[in-house]
Each structure stands twice: as structure tokens, then as C-alpha cells.
Structure 1
């Protein structure tokens, strides 16, 4: 979903309008590249046609070839119009003219969003799609993949308010008392902690819904990643932790992200790690968040795959993960010809990790670190990445690595432009 948020941020930074189209019976438009045959149903024999089968000329719903056939057909139609499929994200298409006119399109199954500064080109693109597909023009973008979008002259705001309210209604917590934090900082969840959950399926479904809610709610990414580790055998303590997240959502169901034009297109990433934060296997948690033009477009909270022997190693691994995301973002923006990309800044609050990323110091203490982590040094030497130190208080990635107190969560959310646009002024 990072590319969708980037798409919306690009439109907000350039004050471009966003339009939405919907294609009916999308899969039925795809031509099959291989011969697929459909056998007669068991017990059914047409008179005089025993043993005959049907050769499919078009893809049908339910076939495993349908999504690939549909996307192939859709790509050919866009290429006929002059659009280019982005290699960094195959769901994004673009067309840039010599007169600095741009058209960008993102598609997910049968939902299409278009933006750009070429108004006549966008009208021609819509007409081209109308001629090839059964398409409905939904006008300005308002609702996409469960995300509510509000456009104005000042920017673009996204949230999942309706989705959050549906979760509250499903769990029966519509009238519950909200809590200030999504997870108790004093509680550490462990496997087999308490009695087994009476309905594991309900636990898994609710965690899955919360995981989808993190598309616009970076403040719950860390607690959702924690409760997702117990899907196999949840217990009562894990269920209580999930319910606490829902009660936290009750306090601001309309909280989302706001994208605005801040007058620059600088790319900056914040990287952090919580060394040996998991009391069960002593693995560390990596977290990062990426901003472009001051707009948050990508973040992640994930437990590391190995046990770090020091806080420096844990922070260094987190910086390597953030660097991968920065490189993907640079490649995507360069391909889209959106803006000039200079050195990208990577911010960390660990001085030892910063020294390690710039110079091969403490060799005896770090020779056990995998080679793939050291590619960060290469990117720094080439000038693609530049690192800097930030005080722990201003470390925005802190929210992705540990459970925080209420005031700290509010402070970081304000820095990320994560607001409840439905809250009274």
C-alpha cells in the first residue's frame, strides 16, 4: 500500500485532482494466453454430446488464470494509449510528455485512480477506457480500497473511519470507554500466556481486520504486529490485548493521514530498533518510517530474524531495512519523472550504528553480521544515502518498536500529520 499513499501524496504536493473509475466484470475482459478447457459437470450429459468439453475464449471468475489474463488485457489497452507500466510497481502506469504534462494511473483489480496535470489527456484516457471496457466514471476520488479520501485546496486527507466503526460494531464495543494507548507498556505478551482462546477463528479474523486498518493508522502498527505473532494458538491474554487496541481506536475512529504541499520534495527516513525487546526469543524489533516532502508514505514494524548481540547491531540492521525502502522509493520516483532526487537522509538515534555505517570500525565485534547489511556503507559512500543523528525524543520511528505512553503517542502522531479529521475543532 506504500505506492497508493505515495500516489495520493504526489497529487497533494502538486495540487492535482484525483479521479476514480470502476470497471464492471473486469475478469471477463481478459483473453487467455493458454488453452483452457472446462469439463462437463458430473452427472450432466448433453444429448448426443457425451465426452465433449468447452474451450474457454475469455477468462471467468474463479479461475486461477483470471487475474493474470485481466491484467494483461488491461495493460495492452493502456499501452495502446501511450501509457508505460512502472517497473517499480506494476499497478502504476504513467505518461509524461515533452511539454511537462503528466498522467498517472494506479489500478487494483477493477478500481482505477487517475491524476496528473494533463486535463485533456485525462479526458482522452477516460474515453479510451470507455471504448474498451464497461467502465463507470465515479468522478472525484472519495472511496478507494476501503480508504476514505477527502480532497481540498489545502491537501488530501485519508482515513478508514467507516471500516473502524464496523470493527467496533462487530466486537460490540461501540459504547465502550476508550483508552489512551493501544497496548499497556507494562505488559509483555508471551506464548501460552493464560487459558486458550475459546474462539481462535474470531481472534484471527479480528487481527486481520486490524492489520488492514494499519494502512492509514501508523499508531497501531506495532501492537498489531505483536498480537499477530499469536495467531496459531491465541490465549485469553492475547485476546484482551486485541480488545485494548479496539478500545484505543474507539477514541478516534476517524484518525488518518493528511498530505499537503510543504514546498519541498526532500526524502527522509527514520530508523529505530528495540534491542532484545521480545522476552520469549530475545529478538529485536525494527521500525522505520519514510517521508517525502514532509508527508508520511511508508512505515513498517517487524521483528528481526536473528538475535542481535548488541544494540548497535540491532540498530544497524534496522537502518539496512530502511535503506532498502528508500532505494525502492527513489527508483519509483525517478521512473515516474515526478521530481529530482538528491541524497536521501536516514536518521538514527544510535551514534555507534551511525559510526559503523560510515566506517568499518569495531571489526572484531561486527564480523558476525551478514554481508547484506553492509550494503548500507556502499550507498553512503556513493552519496545516495546520508545519515544523521536525532535525539531520542524526536525519533519518530519509536512508535514502531515499542509500546509508548499516551502523550508520547500524541506527540509522534502530530509530527506525522496523523489526525482525526472528523474530530471537532
Structure 2
């Protein structure tokens, strides 16, 4: 079992690697030990009467497409459901997930009349960042007003939905390459939050040229200089 994620199990042998990912009653099995994978599937079927659905195409809202370029992950089918639930299917698409140079505040307008609806939508958008790192910053901003959202905060959520409508098929491509390095890029603004003057860190990690991890999060303390905020982002 993986020490980093208790839902991931692996076995390394001379024949190759086997990875098994479990989420409730859904399982993904992959790796380079094909004989071992076949034996594992037979074992699971005999013990638990599992059903082999074949090559992975759809898992927990994530669509998997294969081509000569590699494996493409997207949530193309997930986005229309969001637009229907929020009655934004007929909304006009926009080119950015946030209005430039607009800073959201705690009490910048009247309270939103359905805070639970706001929280549910923010949760769904957080899940969408699994394949859409381009909305990670915008979602992290609207997530800061879960306790008492206002009408202006809801309008910011609507902006993200309109952006998604304009490009529902975007996702992440994982391809095989000769690039063997592990690279990390980090950046931070300086006192970007007008509420508490804290900076926001953004980072992304690439393995063999493929994006595997990313995040946008407000720093835990107030930095006293732009250099300090950058060092905190790196750490």
C-alpha cells in the first residue's frame, strides 16, 4: 500500500509494476506486468465477483481518450451538467475565468440568498480542477467566501461557468517522451489579497514533461516583501 495515498496499492517485481487504485466500489488496475495484472484480475473476480469493464474510458467523471499523441484526460461530460444545474446553459461564453483587476471582498454586496447552492457549486468546481488547472486560481478565490457569500461572489462563480462553456473540451494530455526530468515551477504574488494582505502561491510539477500536480493557495502568513513571498512559494 502506498504511504502517500492509502487507496493506491502497488507491487514491484522483476516482471514489472502493478498499480491498483480503489475508490469505494470502483477499481483501476494498470502497470507493466501484464501477466501479473491478468492473475490479479482473476483473483479479484473469484473472491469478490468483480466485473472487468475492459480498457479504461470513464472514471469518476473523468473521460479517458487514447490516441497516437498519448492519453487525454478531460471532464467534458461533467461541464454541461454543471451548466444545466445552474441554468447557465444558454449563457454567453467568456474568454477568462475571472474579470481582470477585480478583487472580491467579504461584504462587497448584498448577501446571496442561497449559501448552500453557492457551497455546492464551489465543491463541484473544485473537483473540476482535477483536469482543469487553468481554473485553479479562480476557484481558490471563490472558495474563500463559503461561510457568507454575496451576490458579487455568485457573479464570480457565474464567470467561471461562462468560461467553461466557451472551452468545455479542454483537459490534460499525458504523452511518452524522452524527457526524463522532474521539474517544478512556482510563483507568488505580493499581498494579493485585499482582505488580509496575504500572498497567493501557485505551483505545478512536471514528470517526463507531463503535468502531474498543481495548486493555487493563499499563504498562511503575511510576507514582508515580494522576495519573501517568492521564497515561501518555493518552500
Aligned-pair distance for 1:173? 1.4
Distance in 2 separating the partners of 1:216 and 1:138? 23
**Counterpart of 1:422?**
none
Q: Are 1:97 and 2:17 matched, yes or no? A: no
**Counterpart of 1:211?**
126
Per-residue Cα deviation, 1:192-248 (whole angstroms, up to 9, x for no partner):
111111111111111111111111100100011101111111111101000000000
**Counterpart of 1:196?**
111
Per-residue Cα deviation, 1:157-215 (whole angstroms, up to 9, x for no partner):
00111111100111111122110100011211000111111111111111111111111
Q: Are 1:307 and 2:222 matched, yes or no? A: yes
Aligned-pair distance for 1:101? 2.0
Distance in 2 separating the partners of 1:154 and 1:116? 19
List aligned pairs for 1:256-295, cutoff 5 A.
256-295=171-210
List aligned pairs for 1:32-51, cutoff 5 A.
none
Q: Are 1:157 and 2:50 matched, yes or no? A: no
Q: Are 1:88 and 2:4 matched, yes or no? A: yes
| Aligned partner (choices 249, 253, 261) of residue 168 of structure 2 | 253
Aligned-pair distance for 1:122? 1.1
Distance in 1 separating the partners of 2:2 and 2:232? 29
List alignment gaps of at least 5 residues for structure 1: 1-84, 321-425
Distance in 2 separating the partners of 1:96 and 1:215? 27
| Aligned partner (choices 153, 171, 174) of residue 86 of structure 2 | 171
Distance in 1 separating the partners of 2:134 and 2:52? 34
Distance in 2 separating the partners of 1:152 and 1:250? 25
Distance in 2 separating the partners of 1:88 and 1:183? 33
Aligned length: 235
Per-residue Cα deviation, 1:331-364 (whole angstroms, up to 9, x for no partner):
xxxxxxxxxxxxxxxxxxxxxxxxxxxxxxxxxx
Distance in 1 separating the partners of 2:168 and 2:68? 24
Aligned-pair distance for 1:95? 1.9
Distance in 1 separating the partners of 2:31 and 2:138? 37
Distance in 2 separating the partners of 1:306 and 1:262? 39
SS of equivalent to 1:227: helix
Aligned-pair distance for 1:119? 1.8
| Aligned partner (choices 230, 234, 239) of residue 154 of structure 2 | 239
Distance in 2 separating the partners of 1:213 and 1:88? 22
Q: Which has the larger radius of gyration?
A: 1
| Aligned partner (choices 22, 37, 43) of residue 122 of structure 1 | 37
Aligned-pair distance for 1:152? 2.9
Aligned-pair distance for 1:265? 2.5
CA RMSD of aligned residues (A): 1.1
SS of equivalent to 1:135: coil
Per-residue Cα deviation, 1:349-391 (whole angstroms, up to 9, x for no partner):
xxxxxxxxxxxxxxxxxxxxxxxxxxxxxxxxxxxxxxxxxxx
Q: TM-score, normalised by structure 1?
A: 0.54
